[in-house]
Amino acid sequence: MESVEPIRDKRVLEDMCDYLKSTNERNLVMFELGIYGGLRISDILKLRVKDVRNKKYIKITEEKTGKDKPIPINPILRKTLNSYITDKKDLDYLIKSRKGKNSPIGRTQAYRIIRELGEMYGIEDLGTHSMRKTFGYHYYKKTKDIALLQKIFNHSSPNITLRYIGIEQDVIMKAMNDMRYF
């Protein structure tokens, strides 16, 4: 499996959201669910309108772990969701495919959307998991609370979480770049 990276630059992240807002609201919702909710793409794609309408939390059972998890809806995400779901039915999938009656896009299509976005902004190693990693990366940079982030991600150790969000790689790159003999 190919390793993907978080989106580290906040300006690029903001530009990506602005671009999606102006071009495809469904894709913006998918992206914001990942970067503000820290959700895996498998959990995003199974969400329906009723899971977010008039709710403070998204209640999910994580597909990977089988654990129940409440995800608070960030105010920025809330604004996007409220605008997006206004004319949608409760049973509609949030990230609805244009093919078929009422089904979500597939993981492959979600991957293509994110890869294309990465190419537009010159970011290599971007995939659907980059959204979740972006959440973790910026949460850690802001709070330095690795213990809570470890709990949010259900990781077994802080080292796994640091490696997962790309902090370990940042430290290695900095150490190598700062190396001087003379």
23 in helix, strand or coil?
Answer: helix
User: Whose CA is closest to 32, among 54, 59, 4, 7?
Assistant: 7
Has 164 been annotated as catalytic? Answer: yes
Has 129 been annotated as catalytic? Answer: yes
Which of 40, 48, 115, 133 does the annotation list as catalytic?
40
Which of 96, 132, 133, 138 does the annotation list as catalytic?
132
Has 155 been annotated as catalytic? Answer: yes
CA distance 96 to 29: 11
Which of 56, 64, 67, 101 does the annotation list as catalytic?
64
Residue 133 half-sphere exposure, CB side, CA atoms within 13 Å?
22
Which of 96, 115, 129, 138 does the annotation list as catalytic?
129
Which of 36, 93, 139, 164 does the annotation list as catalytic?
164
32 in helix, strand or coil?
Answer: helix
155 in helix, strand or coil?
Answer: coil
Has 174 been annotated as catalytic? Answer: no
Q: Tell me the catalytic residues.
A: 40, 64, 129, 132, 155, 164
